[in-house]
Amino acid sequence: MTWFNDLISSSPPVAQTIISVAIMLLFGFLMTRITKLLKLPNVTAYILAGILIGPYCLNLIPKNVAGGMDFLSDIALAFIAFGVGEFFKFSNLKKSGWKIIILTLFEAIMASIFVFAIMFFVFGLSLSFSIVLAALASATAPASTIMTIRQTKAKGNFVDTLLQVVALDDVVSLIAYSIAISIALASISGGSGFSFEIIVLPILKNILALGIGALLGFLMKFLLSKRSTDNRLIIVVCVLFIFCGICSLLDVSPLLGCMAIGTVYINVTNDEKLFAQANYFSPPILLLFFVRSGLNFNFDVLFSSTSIIGSSPLWLIGIVYFLVRIAGKYSGAFLGSVVTKQPKEVRNYLGLALIPQAGVAIGLAALGARTLGGNVGDALQTIILASSVLYELVGPVCAKLSLYLSKSYSNNLEDIAPVIETTADGVQKTEAELLIERIQAIQEEVKKEENTVSKEEEAFTEASEEYDESIFMRQKNGLHKKNRF
C-alpha cells in the first residue's frame, strides 16, 4: 500500500489530515466488529487497527500526520481523568470507610514495587524507565471487569468491594505517575538532578495545576447552572481544553487537575448526568487516541535491546512485566485484604479481577513517552501497548473466574431464573412446567437487556430532545412576537 501512502503524502496538508482521520475512524470501527465476536473490549480493537494501518503493515497514514497528533493524548487523558473524578465522591468514601482506600493502596502500590524491583535491580534498567513503568503498573482497566460483572449478573459483597477498588485504582495511578515522572526527569538530568528547578519547581507547578483544576470545578457549577443541556456539554469541553492549554504552558501533566475538576464538580453538585453526557461524547476522541497509539507501536524496538534502558531485549522485559505485575496485583490485594480484615472470598480472589490494563495506562504511557523522549519513551510505550493487548485477552477470563470462585454468580438454572415452584392452589409443578417457566423468564430478561439504553445514551438523547425543544420554543416565541406587530 506504499502507493496509497505516497498519494496521501503528496496531497495538501488539509486533505492529508482529513483523509487520515477518516481512515483511523473507519478501521477502528471495523476492527471492533471482529473483536466483538471474540468478546474483546474496544480498546484492543483500536490498538490492533492502529498497528494494521501503521508503518509495519498497510502503512496508510503519513508519518507527519501521525506525528502531528500529539495533542490527542492530552485531550483523551483530560476526558479520562475528568471521568475518574466522578468516582471520588466523598459521600461514597465515607460510606465504604477507609478500608477500601487502604485495600486499593496495597494492590496498586504492591504492583509498582514488584515491577520496579525486577526492572531496576534484576534487569538493571535505568531509574527513569523503571520508576515510570512501575507507576504505570498500578493502573487497572475497569471496563473489562465491569463488562464481566454485567454479563454474569454477579452480585454480593465481593462485587461491591471490587467495584469500589477499581474506581479508586486509577486515582492512585494518576498520583503515582505524577510523582514518578518528576523523579525520572530528575535522574535524567544527571549531576544536577535533585536541584530546586528539577524537583521542587515541578511539584509546585503540579500543586498550582491541582488548585486551578479545583477552582474550575467550582466555576463549572455556576457556568452550568440553568444552562440548556447542549450548552452544558460545550462548557465542559471548553473548560477541559482551556485547562489542558494552561498545563501545557506550565509544562505539567493535566491529569491530576482534570481529575480535580471532576471530583470537585461531582461533590458540589452531585450531577452524574453531566459525566454520562461527556462519556457519550468522548468515544470518537478515545478511538483516535488509541488508534494513534497503535500507529506508534514500534516492532523494531520490541525485538531489539538498547543500552539506554539496559542490555535485555524488550520482548523479554515485556513478558516479565506482564507476569510480575499480575503477581504484584494479586499479592497486594491479598495482603490488603488481610490488613483490612476482608472476607475469605475477597482475600483469595480479588487479585484475579484486577489484572486488565488498558485506557489509563496507555494514556499515561503516551504522555511518558513524549516527556522522556527517545528510546526510553519508545520502549515505555511499546511495552504498555503490547502488554495491554495480552491483559485484555486474559483479564476477562480471570475476572469471570474470580466471580465464580467467590460465588458471586451461579451457573445453576434454578439460581439464574428463579420461579415459583407451586401453583396458586399449592400443588407442586412438574419439572417440565418449571423448565418452561424458567426458559420464558430468561427470554424476557434477554428482551429487557436488548431494549436497555445505557445511561450515557439516555443522557445524550435527553440533551438532543431538550435542544430541539428549545429551538422550537424560540421559533414559536419569535413567530408570536412577529404576529403582534
- Residue 325 has a pLDDT of 93
**What pLDDT score does 153 carry?**
74
Q: Which residues contact 91 (CB under 8 A, 6 or more apart)?
A: 267
Grid look-up 396458586 returns 424
Cβ 288 vs Cβ 21: under 8 Å:
yes
Could you give the CA distance from residue 315 to residue 212 in angstroms, rounded to a whole number? 41
- In this structure, how many other beta carbons lie within 10 angstroms of the beta carbon of residue 362? 29
**CA gap 208, 93 in Å, rounded:** 25
Q: How many CA atoms lie within 13 A of 250 on its CB side?
A: 21
d(CA 384, CA 321): 9
What is the per-residue pLDDT across 207-266, written as a single tens digit (0 to 9) for each?
A: 888 899 999 999 988 888 766 666 788 889 999 999 988 888 887 778 778 888 998 998
pTM of the model: 0.72
Between CA 421 and CA 443 the distance in angstroms is: 19
pLDDT at 26: 93
Instruction: Tell me the CB-side half-sphere exposure of residue 402, using CA atoms within 13 A.
Output: 32
For 39-56, how does the pLDDT look when each residue is reduced to its tens digit (9 = 90+)? 776 777 888 888 888 888
CA dihedral 273, 231, 360, 330 (to 10 degrees): -10
For the record, the C-alpha cell of 195 comes out as 536541584
Helix (H, G, I), strand (E, B) or coil at 475: helix
Angle at 71 between CA 227 and CA 2, to 5 degrees: 130
List, in order of start, the domains of the chain with CATH numbers: 2-52 (no CATH), 71-405 (1.20.1530), 415-484 (no CATH)
Regions of the chain where pLDDT drops below 50: 193, 413, 450, 453, 467, 472
3-state secondary structure of 422: strand
